[in-house]
Amino acid sequence: QVQLVESGGKLVQAGGSLRLSCAASGRTFNHYAMGWFRQAPGKEREFVAAITWNGDDTSYADSVKGRFTISRDNAKSTQYLQMNSLKPEDMAVYYCAVRRNRYISRFHYEYDYWGQGTQVTVSS
C-alpha cells in the first residue's frame, strides 16, 4: 500500500517560517519526481514546487520563488518544503505528491500518488 504522510503544517504569523515534511512508504520513490501543491478554500489546487528524482533540478511557482525551498532525502524517502517569509496568501492545505517519472511536472494530473494534506494557516 503506497502512503504519503505530510506533517509540519500549523498556525504561524506572517513573516514566519515552517518546514513541511512528506514521508513516503510502501514502495521506493527514489526514482520518481516529487512535488508540493496547495489548495485554498474556494480555489483550485495549484502547483507550488517540484523536484527531480535525484534533486538536481527544481521548479517553483512564481508566487513562492525565493521564499520556498524544496528538497528531498532519498535515504529516508522523504521530501521537504521549507517555507520562509510566509504571507497570508500562502494559507492553504498543502499536499505532497509523487510522479512515476523522474522529471518535474507542474500539472497535478501528472502525479500518481497524493498525501492527505496538511493545513498551513498564516495570521496577518
The whole-angstrom separation of Cα 95 and Cα 2 is: 15
Task: Identify the pLDDT of residue 15.
Answer: 98
Percent of the chain surpassing pLDDT 90: 93
Task: Identify the pLDDT of residue 42.
Answer: 95
Contact assessment for residue 23 and residue 116, using Cβ atoms and an 8 Å cutoff: no
Looking at the chain, how many residues does it have?
Answer: 124
C-alpha cell at 59: 521548479
- What digits encode the pLDDT tens for the residues 2-31? 799 999 999 999 999 999 999 998 877 889
- What digits encode the pLDDT tens for the residues 87-116? 999 999 999 999 999 999 999 999 999 999
Task: Identify the pLDDT of residue 30.
Answer: 87
Task: Identify the pLDDT of residue 29.
Answer: 85
Phi-psi region of 30 (alpha: psi -120 to 50; beta: other; left: phi over 0): alpha
- List, in order, residues 6 or more apart from 69 with CB less than 8 Å away: 49, 81, 82, 84
- What digits encode the pLDDT tens for the residues 43-99? 999 999 999 999 999 999 999 999 999 999 999 999 999 999 999 999 999 999 999
Q: How many CB atoms lie within 10 A of CB 90?
A: 22
Burial of 22 (0-12, 13-18, 19+ CB in 10 A): buried
